[in-house]
Amino acid sequence: MSEWTISPPWLEAAQLGVAALLLVAAFVCLPVALAGAWAEFRDDRPAARGLLGALVLGGLIRFVLAPHRLAMVFIGYRVTRDALELLPIAQYGAGAGAFYHAWFAVLPHDHASIMWVNAVCGWLALPLVATFAARVAGDRRVGAVAAVLAAATPMFVRNDTSEANLVPCLLWLFGGLTLFQSTLATGRRTPLLAAVPLLALAIVSRPELLVIAPALVVCLALVRPAVRPPWRDTACWAAAAVTALLVLPHALHVVRAFQSMRGLGNLPGVATSPVVQLVLSVVDRNALLSPTLFPVAFLGLALCALVLGVRGGARRPALVLLAMALAAFLPYFLDADEGNIARVHAPAGLFVALLASVGLVALWDRVTNRIVRGALVVVVVSSLLPSAVRLWAPTNEQAEEELIRDAHAALPQRFVLVRMQWPDKDRGRGGHTQVHFPDYLFRSGGKHGQLLAVSEWLEQPETSEAAYFFFGFRCYAAFRAESIPAPSGEDLHPLCARMRDEFTLTPVIEQTAQNHGDVWLRYYGDAPTLKVGLYKIGPLR
């Protein structure tokens, strides 16, 4: 995506105004939703203990055990920059960006701050997910099990400990859905009033939620007969109208972004046949069907849920959960690729996990043999392991992040830093190599850096400040299509080669790093090691 503004100033101002308003309302509405979760479980001690255990487990994993890592290949730096600057509004919408932007009032201007905020959001979402599942299934044990699965599943943990802006969306989404459930179950309008800002906030944070959120709300209304059918309730229609009005600026923004991205060729699902792309996304680029991304046992348990139903044998709640999983999955066919499916399929995976929790409780009720029950648990837990290994596998991007941190620590207060950045042109292989760099790190926290692209430096290599070259993994990155084999050797970018060949580079940090290859995206050559580091730029050779 280019740096061009998507929407005119008036539309950006409208989106920011709505986002700010909704964030203020969320201050009240989210605690109301969480209070509802507490009220749901307080009278059921075993289920409450299960939920508490899930919270402890989820907290331990997210705040202590699981390393916080960027999920997007170099794009996380851009997401952080967009959140710091707030304008122009990125193609996702204003909601999540404004949310992170507010947190930067007290947190360091660093992508690590976003990852910590996401971890908190992911953890706070656990009781809401539990409440949602318990109310859909009509069984609080399902809720407790759902919370445990959501707390421990590597795909969800990886998402929660990354910069993925879907994470706060899920918190707000489940907050809104549980409040809507309260209205359906009791007929009271107050929860509906609190649901609107949360649902609207989720919608204005991601473009696909314009479709997914309403679909989920409709599915929820079909689980069981409500005290007051929503399609006959004026309050529900009014809430829908208010929500639509609130998200209108976002919708206009998304339309503009869609047109722009289509023009740039950034939506493969539109360039090729949408039907073909849809089929491919279900069959081929589907994280939920990949045992190294999503626990295979969950699929089996989900199937059990569809066959056995919930307590009492009712199958409708399970079918509704399946419908929700599909609603959360299908819109991503437009831009799903191997680099992002682990993130974008997480919401669908969550609904499958809820379905799996229904299946697990149903099986648990039917199987009384302790050994069989124990084996069931072992199967479920062991199915988590392959995805844990894959999702935290070492990558060149993570090594780049560590090198950036080391470079930041090694640089003096004032400096010129030369690094790969636009307009350093891609090498003609599709032009989709992401070269975003965390410039914000080098202009804050006591650092006053002037950052230059390599091509800019090569045009006029003079400066009054000490100049350094960040020779990182992006010097070796070049996006290639699926059909093109990995180039042999280092595949060094010509601009980086010129820096190495034309200037005297004195190492400040130098590493011969292992080349982890194409873990998520096809970027690298097949050389076993790559030389990277931070170098002081000396005179021309």
Q: Judged by CB under 8 A, which stretch of 120-128, 323-331, 380-388, 420-428 contacts another protein?
A: 420-428
Mention every residue, 6+ apart, whose C-beta is less than 8 A from residue 356.
149, 297, 298, 299, 301, 302, 305
User: H or E element: which one contains 504?
Assistant: strand 503-514
Taking CB under 8 A as the criterion, which residues in 70-109 touch another protein? 84-88, 98, 101-106, 109
**Cβ closer to another protein: 9 or 374?**
9
Q: Which residues pair with 512 in a beta bridge?
A: 531
Whether 476 and 491 have beta carbons less than 8 Å apart is answered as yes
Least distance to another protein from the beta carbon of 194, Å? Answer: 10
Binding to another protein (CB under 8 A) within 320-379 occurs at none
State yes or no: residue 260 binds another protein (CB under 8 A): no
**Three-state secondary-structure class, residue 361:** helix
Q: Tokens for 178, please give them.
A: 């549980």
Q: What single-letter DSSP state applies at residue 426?
A: -
Q: Is 5 in the site for another protein (CB under 8 A)?
A: yes
Distance from C-alpha of 464 to C-alpha of 474, rounded to nearest angstrom:
27
> Cβ closer to another protein: 69 or 101?
101
Instruction: Please tell me the distance from the alpha carbon of residue 154 to that of residue 387, in angstroms, as a whole number.
Output: 6
Q: Candidates 121-129, 297-305, 455-463, 491-499 — which segment interacts with another protein by CB under 8 A? A: 455-463
Contact between 16 and another protein by CB under 8 A: the answer reads: yes
- How far apart are the C-alpha atoms of 352 and 356, rounded to whole Å? 6
Return the number of the residue (23 or 270) whose C-beta is nearest another protein.
Answer: 23
User: In whole angstroms, how close is the CB of 443 to another protein at the nearest point?
Assistant: 4
Q: Is 452 helix (H, G, I), strand (E, B) or coil?
A: strand
In the chain, the amino acid numbered 76 is G
Distance (Å, rounded) from C-alpha 83 to C-alpha 114?
A: 9
Residue type at position 9: P
Q: How far is the CB of 86 from another protein (least distance, A)?
A: 5
Tell which positions 139-198 bind another protein, by CB under 8 A: none
Rounded to an integer, what distance in angstroms lies between the CA atom of residue 512 and that of residue 533? Answer: 9
Site string for another protein, 433-452 (x = CB under 8 A): ------x---x----xxxxx
Give me the least distance between CB of 468 and another protein, in Å please.
14
Phi-psi region of 108 (alpha: psi -120 to 50; beta: other; left: phi over 0): beta
HEC profile for 38-60? HHHHCCCHHHHHHHHHHHHHHHH
112 belongs to the binding site for another protein (CB under 8 A): no
Nearest approach in angstroms of CB 457 to another protein is 9
Contact region for another protein (CB under 8 A) — 231-239, 323-331, 379-387, 457-465?
457-465
Kindly state the smallest distance separating residue 117's Cβ from another protein, in Å: 12
Q: How far is the CB of 451 from another protein (least distance, A)?
A: 4
**Residue 497 C-beta: closest distance to another protein, Å:** 19
Give the residue among 90, 92, 94, 93 at the shortest CA–CA distance from 82: 90
459 is a site residue for another protein (CB under 8 A): yes
Q: Among residue numbers 31 through 60, which ones bind another protein (CB under 8 A)?
A: 31
Closest CB 410 distance from another protein, rounded Å: 19
User: Could you say which of 231, 283, 368, 462 contacts another protein (CB under 8 A)?
Assistant: 462
Q: Which SS3 state, helix, strand or coil, does residue 105 take?
A: coil
C-beta of 459: minimal distance to another protein in Å? 3
Tokens read off for 248: 């209108």
**Cα(first)–Cα(last) distance of the chain, in Å?**
37
Using CB under 8 A as the binding criterion, the count of chain residues that bind another protein stands at: 46
Query: Any contact of residue 26 with another protein (CB under 8 A)?
Result: yes
* CA atoms lying within 13 Å on the CB side of residue 46: 5
Out of 67, 225, 263, 423, the only residue in the binding site for another protein (CB under 8 A) is 423
| Distance of closest approach, residue 28 Cβ to another protein, in angstroms | 5
Alpha-carbon gap, residue 313 to 310, rounded angstroms: 5
- Report the distance separating Cα 25 and Cα 167, nearest Å: 19
The residues of the shown chain that bind another protein, judged by CB under 8 A, are 3-5, 8-10, 12-13, 16, 20, 23-28, 31, 84-88, 98, 101-106, 109, 421-423, 439, 443, 448-453, 456, 458-460, 462
